[in-house]
Amino acid sequence: MRRNALLAFATAALVASGLAVTTARAAESEHSLEHQRWSFDGLFGTIDQAAAQRGFQVYKEVCAACHSLSLVAYRNLGAIGIGEDQIKAIAAQYNVMDGPNDAGDMFERPAKPSDKFVAPFANANAARAANNGALPPDLSLIVKAREGGPDYVYGVLTGFVPPPAGVTVPDGMYYNAAFPGHQIAMPPPLSDGSVTYADGTEASVHQEAHDVVTFLEWTAEPELDARKKMGVKVILFLIVLTGLAYAVKRKVWKDIH
């Protein structure tokens, strides 16, 4: 009897923690965003590395023209399974300002794996000037920074639709179903075939959006995978410990009754 009660308690605790994670996410989305299936959903979810790598390609070839990713260093890409040599080659495609050298001058050099992602614009004013006065936000934490998280970012990327009758959108603005206020200064960044995936995945707008959001989930919470794996281990350990403690208790008390 007692053993059953214990087991039931442990199971209930597990289920409850799983539910808490899911409902926390659900409560965040307000704009009736369609929930997508994410590899990182739920208690046992992890970042799908192949999707994250494809998403990095989308970021690098499309989004990086306007959006910085200032909290991520090139070497961090190792965590989504990109090899060291490839990381070196990626970093070397960019130039960073370094210095001062012995003569007191600043100088440009190719980026190293330890450098943070090089931003597309020198400063916020330059970024605004190139984007019709609007500032493309840094994307490192965007998935965490917005209500609705991954579903919201996916919603913005796939939400460019013709405005409803009677709504006029000013020059340089675009109608977007998911963006609050529905007028966004970002031109639709994705189209079918914006990138060519090396693994042969078909690059539809939905696929590209899904992949880049998986990548941005990782940049926003790079330690998520490790934390979830540790959490599962801890819970397994506690269940085993509970069983052991119970067995010991029975043995110790056997003769005393």
Indicate the DSSP class of residue 135.
Answer: P
* Strand-strand pairing, 174-175 and 183-184: antiparallel
77, 82, 146, 154: which one contacts ligand HEC (CB under 6 A)?
146
| Residue 134 sits in the site that holds ligand HEC (CB under 6 A) | yes
Rounded to 5 degrees, what are φ and ψ at 136? Answer: -70, 120
CB of 116 to ligand HEC, least distance (A): 18
Q: Annotated binding residue at 210?
A: no
CB of 150 to ligand HEC, least distance (A): 10
Distance CA(72)–CA(76), nearest Å, equals 7
Total Cβ atoms within 10 A of residue 240: 10
Which secondary structure element, helix H or strand E, spans residue 97, and what is its range?
Answer: strand 95-98
CB of 129 to ligand HEC, least distance (A): 11
Q: Point out which span in 8-16, 184-192, 220-228, 246-254 binds ligand HEC (CB under 6 A).
A: 184-192
CB of 199 to ligand HEC, least distance (A): 19
> Site residues for ligand HEC, window 64-83 (CB under 6 A)?
65-67
45, 113, 137, 222: which one contacts ligand HEC (CB under 6 A)?
137
| Residue 186 sits in the site that holds ligand HEC (CB under 6 A) | yes
The residues, any chain, with a CB within 8 Å of residue 138's CB and separated by 6 or more, are 67, 68, 69, 70, 71
Binding residues: 63, 66-67, 186
